[in-house]
């Protein structure tokens, strides 16, 4: 492994992946792209170049550090557009809302190259995964449109019970604050933003801490596709801009993907606990349990992608591996060899798997886990493990890990992989039961009776048990959620439409007068809510 070769001369960057500095001054408010003339935050790419003999992170642009005044202006815009549910957007028919969303998705498709390139420069995601993130987001929006059509079709008929007619539909909740994570700054942000939007809510979008200017190419599309004030964007220091939004008490839904600590800190600022609905995707420490009869080659393959895709920076990543003692040596040997075969380099290079990390101080944070584990008896068992250079950290496989080590319970969110040997299955089971989080788990083995015995205790502790497969969110039509400190609410294409809306009904006791009123409203198409029209 030649780590020095990762960071090359600027001239070695292929023409089509070069970047011109983007100094974003714009933010979207009340249907206008406004220019900010105040302070801006410099953006440093995880990609480094040699400058005057020093390896330094490339400065690729900046984004606005808006103030409290702008924050309140943005809030006002979203509140006005919702207008207590009387706004153009919340009262628009589903068909019309779908039309606007289709217009947005067409415009978004034209920005693929730009957004994909910025994903690579801002967060260091490799080309294949950056393209996948963009395409998956487009597919998610299209699937959301189809799912909403289906929901509308089901809701377009009347219910009749105990002499009462009712039409039951899902209605929007109000103003939604959407905050996404840096590891999927486009996809995961949009998996809350799009369903919230299409259900008739108005949006304040705060991008993640990294992966900000990649949303810049979409501002015009947001402005031109939706009525004014329906989508607003906010940038800056959370303490300055998010506090005023929450303390106003005017945010109806807080959609957040990130840490439980930050989610709770923000949530607590809202003065009306019951008005505020929360939709969270939070931390995880998904364990992988490798039984003694596991197919080692298959397990190694899944554990490599499970623990190291995007350098382990996925909430669903396998973050601790329990291996039966009898096969631990063979597993570790093959796992380490498989890691050695992964290509390191810059995101756009052909076949690159391991790339530099975007987070400030991340290398130190990874080394702290490694050093703490070493001090308590573990070793780095893979070749070159934990070597690092500037923003690049080569994966470290730690073995044998025990519960005294920080890495045993803490979420590393990076390329450090702890392996715990076990001879009694109660060890991983107890780990799962005592964990503060409960998103998913993976089991590797061949004996179906043994696997069945594990499924039952696990499904009541986590929300997805994967058999001979890594943990993952997709397919996006599957429910994605977690227990304990891992999530609040369930996201999937169809579930997300539900979490960002509430069931509302119009009901009437059967009588000649009421029958006539309902008939006239339906016949004359006088209500957007009360309608039996079929959405094709
Ligand atoms: O960061 C958490 C993501 O939801 C993971 O999604 O399993 O598709 O990578 P993924």
Handedness of CA 513, 515, 519, 521 (dihedral sign): positive
Report how far ligand 1's centroid is from the alpha carbon of 295 (Å). 25
Report how far ligand 1's centroid is from the alpha carbon of 480 (Å). 9
Instruction: Classify each residue of 339-368 as buried b or exposed e, where b means 16 or more C-beta atoms within 10 Å of its C-beta.
Output: beeeebbbbbbeebbbbbbbbeebbebbeb
Ligand 1 neighbourhood includes 125 CB (under 6 angstroms)? no
Place of tokens 């930050």: 262
Beta strands in 81-193, from DSSP E residues, in sequence order: 159-161, 164-172, 175-179
Residue 434: predicted pLDDT: 98
pLDDT digits (tens, 9 = 90+) for 276-287: 999 999 999 999
Mean pLDDT of 83-106: 98
Mean pLDDT of 105-130: 98
Residue 194: predicted pLDDT: 98
From residue 308, how far is each of 87, 88, 203, 315, 335 by CA, in Å? 46, 46, 34, 12, 12
Tell me the three state secondary structure of residue 300. Answer: helix
Task: Tell me the two tokens of residue 488.
Answer: 């609040």
Ligand 1 neighbourhood includes 439 CB (under 6 angstroms)? no
Q: Of 187, 193, 179, whose CA–CA distance to 225 is shortest? A: 193
Residue 8: predicted pLDDT: 87
Beta-strand pair 483-484/437-438: antiparallel
Tell me the three state secondary structure of residue 500. Answer: coil
Residue 50: predicted pLDDT: 86
pLDDT band of 394, cuts 50, 70, 90: very high
Ligand 1 neighbourhood includes 472 CB (under 6 angstroms)? yes
Residue 192: predicted pLDDT: 98
Rounded to whole angstroms, the Cα distance separating 257 from 207 reads: 11
Sequence-distant (≥ 6) Cβ neighbours of residue 2 within 8 angstroms? none
Report how far ligand 1's centroid is from the alpha carbon of 440 (Å). 11
Cβ burial, residue 72 (10 Å; 0-12/13-18/19+): middle
Mean pLDDT of 233-247: 97
pLDDT band of 52, cuts 50, 70, 90: confident
Instruction: Classify each residue of 510-519 as buried b or exposed e, where b means 16 or more C-beta atoms within 10 Å of its C-beta.
Output: eeeeeeeebe
Which residue among 126, 187, 308, 473 has the greatest number of ligand 1 atoms within 8 angstroms of its CB, and so is best to mutate? Answer: 473
Rounded to whole angstroms, the Cα distance separating 51 from 377 reads: 40
pLDDT band of 270, cuts 50, 70, 90: very high
pLDDT above 70: percentage of residues in the chain = 100
pLDDT at residue 134 greater than cutoff 90: yes
Residue 53: predicted pLDDT: 80
pLDDT at residue 9 greater than cutoff 90: no
Task: Tell me the two tokens of residue 44.
Answer: 């440093």
pTM recorded for the entire structure: 0.97
Task: Tell me the two tokens of residue 204.
Answer: 């304040």
Ligand 1 neighbourhood includes 183 CB (under 6 angstroms)? yes
In ligand 1, the atom with minimum distance to the C-alpha of 317 is 7
Task: Tell me the two tokens of residue 82.
Answer: 């919702």
Q: Of 437, 433, 390, whose CA–CA distance to 410 is shortest? A: 437
Rounded to whole angstroms, the Cα distance separating 214 from 207 reads: 10
β-bridge partners, 59: 44
pLDDT digits (tens, 9 = 90+) for 491-527: 999 999 999 999 999 999 999 999 999 999 999 999 9
Task: Tell me the two tokens of residue 364.
Answer: 């130190």
β-bridge partners, 167: 506
pLDDT at residue 326 greater than cutoff 90: yes
pLDDT band of 4, cuts 50, 70, 90: confident
Residue 385: predicted pLDDT: 98
Report how far ligand 1's centroid is from the alpha carbon of 463 (Å). 14
Sequence-distant (≥ 6) Cβ neighbours of residue 155 within 8 angstroms? 167, 168, 169, 170
Q: Of 245, 323, 289, whose CA–CA distance to 468 is shortest? A: 289
Tell me if 257 sits within 8 A of 281, measured CB to CB.
yes
Mean pLDDT of 69-81: 98
From residue 354, how far is each of 91, 214, 342, 390 by CA, in Å? 48, 21, 7, 14
pLDDT at residue 104 greater than cutoff 90: yes
Place of tokens 């960057």: 13
Ligand 1 neighbourhood includes 464 CB (under 6 angstroms)? no
Rounded to whole angstroms, the Cα distance separating 25 from 38 reads: 9
Tell me the three state secondary structure of residue 222. Answer: helix
Q: Of 112, 120, 109, whose CA–CA distance to 18 is shortest? A: 120
Tell me if 203 sits within 8 A of 81, measured CB to CB.
no
Mean pLDDT of 133-153: 98
pLDDT at residue 21 greater than cutoff 90: yes
Residue 51 φ/ψ, nearest 5 degrees? -130, 120
Residue 220: predicted pLDDT: 98
pLDDT above 90: percentage of residues in the chain = 97
Tell me if 291 sits within 8 A of 450, measured CB to CB.
yes
Rounded to whole angstroms, the Cα distance separating 479 from 458 reads: 17
pLDDT at residue 198 greater than cutoff 90: yes
pLDDT digits (tens, 9 = 90+) for 27-48: 999 999 999 999 999 999 999 9
Tell me if 192 sits within 8 A of 496, measured CB to CB.
yes
Beta-strand pair 396-399/441-444: unpaired
pLDDT at residue 338 greater than cutoff 90: yes
Task: Tell me the two tokens of residue 181.
Answer: 């994570």
From residue 221, how far is each of 158, 216, 231, 236, 375 by CA, in Å? 37, 10, 10, 22, 53
Tell me the three state secondary structure of residue 33. Answer: strand
pLDDT at residue 386 greater than cutoff 90: yes
Report how far ligand 1's centroid is from the alpha carbon of 264 (Å). 21
Report how far ligand 1's centroid is from the alpha carbon of 473 (Å). 5
Tell me if 343 sits within 8 A of 352, measured CB to CB.
yes
pLDDT band of 424, cuts 50, 70, 90: very high
Which residue among 279, 411, 472 has the greatest number of ligand 1 atoms within 8 angstroms of its CB, and so is best to mutate? Answer: 472
Report how far ligand 1's centroid is from the alpha carbon of 313 (Å). 9
């Amino acid at each position: 492994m030649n780590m020095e070769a990762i960071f090359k001369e600027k001239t070695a960057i292929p023409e089509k992946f070069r970047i011109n500095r983007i100094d974003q001054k714009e933010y979207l408010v009340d249907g206008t792209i406004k220019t900010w003339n105040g302070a801006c935050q410099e953006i440093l790419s995880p990609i480094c170049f040699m400058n005057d003999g020093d390896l330094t992170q490339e400065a690729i642009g900046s984004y606005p550090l808006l103030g409290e005044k702008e924050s309140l202006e943005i809030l006002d815009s979203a509140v006005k557009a919702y207008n207590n549910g009387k706004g153009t957007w919340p009262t628009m028919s589903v068909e019309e809302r779908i039309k606007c969303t289709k217009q947005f998705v067409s415009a978004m498709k034209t920005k693929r190259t730009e957004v994909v390139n910025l994903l690579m420069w801002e967060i260091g995601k490799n080309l294949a995964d950056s393209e996948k993130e963009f395409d998956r987001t487009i597919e998610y929006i299209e699937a959301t449109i189809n799912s909403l059509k289906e929901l509308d079709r089901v809701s377009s008929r009347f219910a009749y019970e105990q002499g009462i007619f009712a039409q039951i539909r899902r209605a929007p909740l109000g103003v939604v604050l959407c905050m996404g994570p840096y590891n999927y700054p486009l996809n995961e942000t949009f998996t809350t933003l799009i369903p919230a939007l299409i259900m008739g809510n108005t949006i304040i979008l705060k991008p993640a801490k990294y992966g900000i200017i990649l949303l810049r190419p979409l501002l015009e599309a947001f402005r031109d596709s939706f009525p004014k004030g329906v989508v607003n964007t906010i940038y800056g220091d959370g303490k300055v801009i998010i506090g005023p939004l929450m303390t106003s008490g005017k945010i109806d839904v807080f959609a957040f993907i990130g840490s439980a600590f930050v989610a709770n800190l923000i949530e607590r600022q809202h003065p009306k606990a019951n008005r505020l609905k929360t939709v969270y995707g939070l931390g995880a420490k998904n364990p992988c349990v490798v039984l003694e009869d596991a197919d080692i080659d298959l397990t190694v393959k899944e554990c490599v992608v499970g623990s190291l895709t995007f350098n382990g920076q996925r909430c669903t990543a396998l973050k601790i591996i329990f291996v039966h003692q009898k096969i631990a040596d063979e597993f570790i040997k093959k796992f380490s060899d498989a890691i050695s075969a992964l290509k390191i380099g810059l995101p756009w290079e052909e076949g690159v798997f391991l790339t530099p990390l975007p987070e400030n101080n991340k290398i130190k944070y990874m080394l702290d886990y490694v050093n703490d584990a070493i001090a308590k008896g573990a070793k780095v068992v893979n070749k070159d493990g934990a070597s690092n250079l500037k923003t690049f950290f080569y994966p470290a496989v730690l073995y044998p890990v025990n519960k005294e080590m920080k890495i045993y319970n803490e979420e590393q969110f990076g390329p450090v992989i702890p392996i715990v040997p076990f001879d009694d299955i109660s060890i991983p089971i107890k780990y799962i039961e005592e964990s503060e989080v409960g998103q998913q788990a993976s089991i590797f083995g061949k004996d179906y009776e043994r696997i069945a015995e594990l499924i039952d205790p696990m499904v009541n502790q986590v929300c997805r048990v994967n058999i001979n497969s890594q943990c993952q969110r997709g397919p996006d039509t599957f429910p994605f959620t977690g227990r304990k400190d891992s999530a609040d609410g369930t996201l999937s294409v169809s579930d997300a439409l539900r979490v960002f809306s509430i069931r509302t009904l119009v009901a009437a006791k059967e009588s000649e007068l009421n029958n006539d009123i309902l008939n006239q409203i339906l016949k004359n198409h006088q209500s957007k809510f009360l309608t039996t029209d079929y959405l094709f």
